[in-house]
Amino acid sequence: MLRRRVIPCLDVANGRVVKGTRFVDLVDEGDPAELAERYAAEGADEICFLDITAAPEARATLLDVVERTARRAFIPLTVGGGVRSVDELRDVLRAGADKVSLNTAAVADPDLVRRCAARFGRQAVVVAIDARQRSPEAGDRARDVASDVARDVAAYNPQGWDVLVRGGREATGLEAVAWAERAVALGAGELLVTSVDRDGTQSGFDTALLRAISDRVPVPVIASGGASGPADFVAAVIEGGADAVLAASIFHRRIHSIAAVKAAMAAAGLPVRLVEPAVA
Amino acid sequence: MTRTRMTRTRMTRVAVVDYGAGNLVSIGQGLEAVGAEVAWAPDGDSLGEADALIVPGVGASAPAMERLRDRGLVDPILRWIRDGRPYLGICLGLQLLFEGSDEDDAETLGVLRGRTVLLEDAPTLPHIGWNQVVARRPHRLFDGIRDRADFYFVHSYAGRPVGPDADELTLAETVHGRPFLSALARGPLLGVQFHPERSGRDGLRVLANFVRLAAGQAGGRPAAMAAVAAPTPVRTA
Q: Which ipTM did the prediction report?
A: 0.88
pLDDT over 90 percentage in chain B? 76
Candidates A220, A66, A127; CA nearest to B23 is A66
Task: Name every chain B residue with its beta carbon within 8 A of the beta carbon of A45.
Answer: 129-130
The predicted model gives B129-141 an average pLDDT of 97
Mean pLDDT of the B134-141 span: 97
Task: Answer for the pair B114, B167: CB distance below 8 angstroms, yes or no.
Answer: no
In a domain, residue A14? The reply is yes
List all residues of chain B from 161 to 200 with a beta carbon under 8 Å from chain A.
Answer: 175-176, 197-200
Give domain limits for chain B. Answer: 13-218
Let me know if residue A273 belongs to a domain: no
The answer as to whether A272 is a domain residue is: no
- Residues in chain B within 8 Å Cβ distance of A76: 152, 154, 198
Which of A65, A75, A73 is CA-nearest to residue A30?
A: A65
Helix (H/G/I), strand (E/B), else coil: A8: strand
Q: Mind listing the pLDDT tens digit for each residue in B40-55?
A: 999 988 898 899 999 9
CB nearest A70 (choices: B25, B175, B203): B25
pLDDT at A143: 58
| Residue B4 pLDDT greater than 60, yes or no | no
pLDDT at residue B230 in the model: 30
The CATH number linked to A61 is: 3.20.20.70
| Per-residue CA distances from B62 to A28, A45, A115 (Å) | 46, 31, 18
Domain assignment present for A172: yes
When computed from its CA atoms, the radius of gyration of chain A, rounded to whole angstroms, is 18
Q: How confident is the model at residue A182 (pLDDT cuts 50, 70, 90)?
A: very high
CB-based burial of residue B24 (10 Å sphere; 0-12 exposed, 13-18 middle, 19+ buried)? buried
Computed over every residue of chain A, the mean pLDDT equals 88
Query: Is A15 a domain residue?
Result: yes
Query: Which domain, by its residues, includes A74?
Result: 5-267
Cβ of A121 within 8 Å of Cβ of B23? The answer is no
In a domain, A151, yes or no: yes
What is the total count of domains within chain A?
1
Of chain A, the percentage scoring pLDDT greater than 70 comes to 87
Task: Indicate whether A221 belongs to any domain.
Answer: yes
A148-170 tens-digit pLDDT = 445 554 456 677 999 999 888 88
Lowest mean pLDDT among A182-191, B16-25, B146-155: B16-25
CATH (residue range B13-218): 3.40.50.880
Tell me the whole-structure pTM to 2 decimals.
0.88
Average pLDDT over residues B3-30: 78
Q: Is A187's Cβ below 8 Å from some Cβ in B?
A: no
Please report whether residue A280 resides in a domain. no
